């Protein structure tokens, strides 16, 4: 009887859908958490023993902070993958609309993922990361009993006071901007009004950071890929470099073998310790082994991989600039709507690109490329490059700062993609509840600045060598002309002076 009741059947269906979505979200989060934990373990400063923590208490603080950073990095990766997963889901549903095995891939699941990422982004940005930093710096209240709970209480109290300060500033800023309408809100609207407004401000800052980092990273990507990929033989003389490194290795071995003292030896400019020379020798041997391994790479990989990758990067960059220019033109004409406001997108209705699945694949490539370029550009900026993590030598404070930076950039990536017109996928969840997205002048100016700065960085990258050579030639010509102008016009030579003196002496004798 119960199965024949349509209301019960609908409730059961809703229950099973909710359970399925939670299981998929949980499995996705666990996978991202494992990958993030392995990644952070590669960069964190390794401890040979627990003595460096000055006790088991410091070791527990370190582990808890690492777990919080891992959760934050997992949310960041999830925010980066939101748009690609949504675009792929839409195209798969278009290709197989009646397939039983992909019925679970629906709009409800995608919207749930967006809402979960928004919630955990707020949680990590405003609670987890500040608590992790205060927790690592806490020592417990003075006069209280030392222990792990004392540090937890101190970190929680400092975080609570900081939260009151930030929320108060956000309330004042909202009241100033919105006028009397916002001043009528009470503290009960913190979650629904002020926290999304504060997240909107943070996302706006993230979009501005992306505007600074992405053009620089686009130009820097060519250098980074050139370091990772084996260059062709005509661009890099492996034999000459290998010969030079082997000579350097022999020279270091000779200096270590025939040392002048038990602890120090001369290096021509002063005295260097044997330990430093041994480290230099080890680095030289690693470089030699790397070049020897590159010698055994096939001809096709050595001579075709590098040009193809450089052409692919150039094509993606030019395609991105063209997309931004097209979006700017459509905004000026008035045929493109502003990205303000979120709407629940229904998957499987139409393709997100006029080119079909191929265009959707291009959108995914451009989105991921911009994210990688923004991270590379951030670590290439002055002063900010000091935050770049080092393999097996990154402190916990620096890991926390890097996780905050990655979370900020990844949370702003969906907004950047919609603002630049890279994808037409509507922002679902609370990612789209941002008033500044409806300002025509901000969106238009952002598109123009992004296109111009990216084009200038790309032009500077490919013409830097030519401009440097022209400058050196002009500088050399100017120096030669300066020397010629400062030389006396009729400076007598030594022979002329000798003849003149001999003539004067002859006249005196006569």
Q: What is the pLDDT of residues 414-438, one digit of tens each?
A: 888 888 888 877 655 555 556 677 7
Please say whether the beta carbons of 170 and 198 come within 8 A. Answer: yes
The token pair at 383 is 């002063």
pLDDT of 11 reads 77
Rounded mean pLDDT, 329-349: 72
- For residue 290, CA distances in Å to 243, 285, 296 come to 13, 9, 10
Higher pLDDT, 16 or 153: 153
In whole angstroms, what separates CA 24 from the centre of its chain? Answer: 28
**Between helices 107-123 and 56-95, what is the axis angle to 10°?**
160
In whole angstroms, what separates CA 510 from the centre of its chain? Answer: 92
Rounded mean pLDDT, 379-385: 87
pLDDT of 428 reads 53
Contacts of residue 32, Cβ cutoff 8 Å, sequence gap at least 6: 74, 77, 78
CA distance 464 to 313: 18
The yes-or-no verdict on residue 116 having pLDDT over 90 is: no
Contacts of residue 186, Cβ cutoff 8 Å, sequence gap at least 6: none
Higher pLDDT, 225 or 156: 156
The yes-or-no verdict on residue 501 having pLDDT over 60 is: no
Contacts of residue 146, Cβ cutoff 8 Å, sequence gap at least 6: 57, 140
The yes-or-no verdict on residue 32 having pLDDT over 90 is: yes
The yes-or-no verdict on residue 470 having pLDDT over 90 is: no
Higher pLDDT, 137 or 435: 137
pLDDT of 505 reads 52
What is the length of the chain? Answer: 510
In whole angstroms, what separates CA 402 from the centre of its chain? Answer: 9
pLDDT of 406 reads 93
Mean confidence (pLDDT) of the chain: 77
Least trusted range by pLDDT, from 14-28, 46-60, 352-366: 46-60
The token pair at 159 is 């975080």
Least trusted range by pLDDT, from 193-207, 224-238, 392-406: 224-238
pLDDT of 119 reads 85
Number of other CB atoms surrounding residue 447 within 10 Å: 23
The yes-or-no verdict on residue 163 having pLDDT over 80 is: yes
40 confidence band (pLDDT: 50, 70, 90): very high
C-alpha angle with apex 436: 433 to 440, nearest 5 degrees? 125
Contacts of residue 213, Cβ cutoff 8 Å, sequence gap at least 6: 373, 374, 375, 377, 378, 381, 409
pLDDT of 463 reads 78
Percent helix, strand and coil across the chain, each to the nearest 5: 75, 0, 20
pLDDT of 167 reads 75
DSSP state, 353?
A: S
3 confidence band (pLDDT: 50, 70, 90): very low
Please say whether the beta carbons of 221 and 313 come within 8 A. Answer: yes
Q: In sequence order, what DSSP letters do the residues of 249-318 get, joined into one string?
A: HHHHHHHHHT-SSSSEEE-SSSEEEHHHHHHHHHHHHHHHHHHHHHHTS-HHHHHHHHHHHHHHHHHHHH
CA distance 325 to 332: 11
Higher pLDDT, 104 or 449: 449
Least trusted range by pLDDT, from 153-157, 226-230, 363-367, 430-434: 430-434
Q: Which long-range contacts (CB under 8 A, 24 or more apart) does 255-263 make?
A: 256/281
Contacts of residue 109, Cβ cutoff 8 Å, sequence gap at least 6: 20, 21, 24, 89
Higher pLDDT, 383 or 465: 383
* Bridge pairing between strands 271-273 and 264-266: antiparallel
Radius of gyration of the chain (CA): 32
Contacts of residue 241, Cβ cutoff 8 Å, sequence gap at least 6: 291
pLDDT of 442 reads 85
For the chain, percent of residues with pLDDT exceeding 90 = 15
- For residue 442, CA distances in Å to 207, 411, 439 come to 12, 19, 6
The token pair at 402 is 């890097």
- Taking alpha carbons only, the member of 206, 204, 183 closest to residue 193 is 183
Contacts of residue 441, Cβ cutoff 8 Å, sequence gap at least 6: none
Please say whether the beta carbons of 44 and 86 come within 8 A. Answer: no
Higher pLDDT, 284 or 193: 284
Burial zone of 449 (CB within 10 Å; 0-12 exposed, 13-18 middle, 19+ buried): middle
The yes-or-no verdict on residue 285 having pLDDT over 70 is: yes
Number of other CB atoms surrounding residue 469 within 10 Å: 10
73 confidence band (pLDDT: 50, 70, 90): very high
165 confidence band (pLDDT: 50, 70, 90): confident
Rounded mean pLDDT, 197-209: 78
Higher pLDDT, 320 or 337: 320
């Amino acid at each position: 009887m119960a199965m024949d009741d349509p209301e019960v059947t609908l409730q059961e269906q809703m229950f099973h859908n909710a359970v399925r979505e939670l299981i998929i979200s949980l499995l996705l989060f666990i996978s991202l958490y494992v990958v993030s934990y392995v990644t952070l373990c590669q960069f964190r400063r390794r401890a040979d023993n627990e003595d460096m923590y000055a006790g088991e208490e410091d070791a527990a603080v370190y582990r808890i902070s690492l777990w919080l950073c891992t959760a934050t990095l997992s949310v960041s990766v999830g925010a980066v993958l939101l748009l690609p997963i949504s675009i792929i889901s839409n195209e798969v549903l278009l290709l197989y609309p009646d397939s039983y095995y992909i019925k679970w891939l629906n709009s409800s699941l995608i919207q749930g993922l967006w809402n979960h990422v928004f919630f955990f982004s707020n949680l990590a940005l405003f609670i987890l990361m500040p608590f992790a930093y205060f927790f690592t710096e806490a020592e417990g209240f003075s006069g209280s009993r030392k222990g792990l709970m004392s540090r937890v209480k101190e970190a929680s109290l400092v975080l609570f006071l900081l939260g009151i300060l930030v929320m108060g500033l956000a309330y004042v800023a909202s009241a100033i901007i919105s006028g009397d309408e916002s001043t009528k809100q009470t503290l009960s609207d913190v979650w629904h009004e002020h926290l999304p407004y504060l997240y909107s401000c943070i996302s706006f800052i993230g979009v501005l950071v992306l505007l600074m980092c992405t053009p620089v990273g686009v130009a820097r990507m060519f250098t980074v890929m050139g370091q990772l990929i084996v260059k062709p033989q005509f661009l890099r003389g492996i034999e000459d470099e290998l010969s030079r490194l082997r000579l350097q290795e022999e020279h270091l071995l000779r200096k270590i073998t025939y040392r002048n003292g038990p602890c120090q030896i001369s290096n021509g400019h002063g005295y260097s310790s044997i330990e430093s020379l041994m480290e230099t020798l080890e680095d030289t041997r690693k470089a030699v082994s790397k070049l020897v391994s590159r010698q055994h790479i096939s001809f096709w990989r050595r001579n075709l991989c590098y040009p193809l990758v450089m052409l692919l990067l150039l094509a993606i960059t030019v395609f991105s600039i063209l997309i931004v220019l097209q979006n700017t033109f459509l905004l000026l004409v008035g045929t493109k709507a502003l990205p303000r406001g979120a709407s629940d997108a229904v998957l499987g209705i139409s393709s997100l690109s006029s080119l079909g699945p191929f265009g959707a694949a291009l959108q995914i490539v451009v989105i991921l490329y911009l994210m990688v370029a923004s991270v590379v550009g951030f670590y290439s900026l002055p002063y900010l490059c000091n935050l770049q993590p080092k393999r097996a030598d990154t402190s916990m404070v620096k890991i926390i700062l890097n996780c905050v930076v990655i979370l900020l950039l990844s949370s702003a990536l969906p907004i950047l993609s919609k603002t630049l017109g890279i994808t037409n996928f509507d922002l679902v969840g609370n990612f789209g509840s941002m008033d500044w997205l409806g300002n025509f002048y901000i969106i238009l100016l952002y598109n123009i600045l992004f296109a111009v700065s990216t084009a200038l960085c790309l032009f500077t990258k490919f013409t830097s060598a030519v401009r440097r050579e022209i400058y050196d030639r002009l500088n050399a010509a100017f120096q030669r002309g300066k020397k010629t102008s400062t030389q006396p016009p009729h400076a007598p030579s030594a022979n002329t002076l000798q003849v003149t003196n001999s003539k004067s002496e002859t006249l005196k004798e006569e």
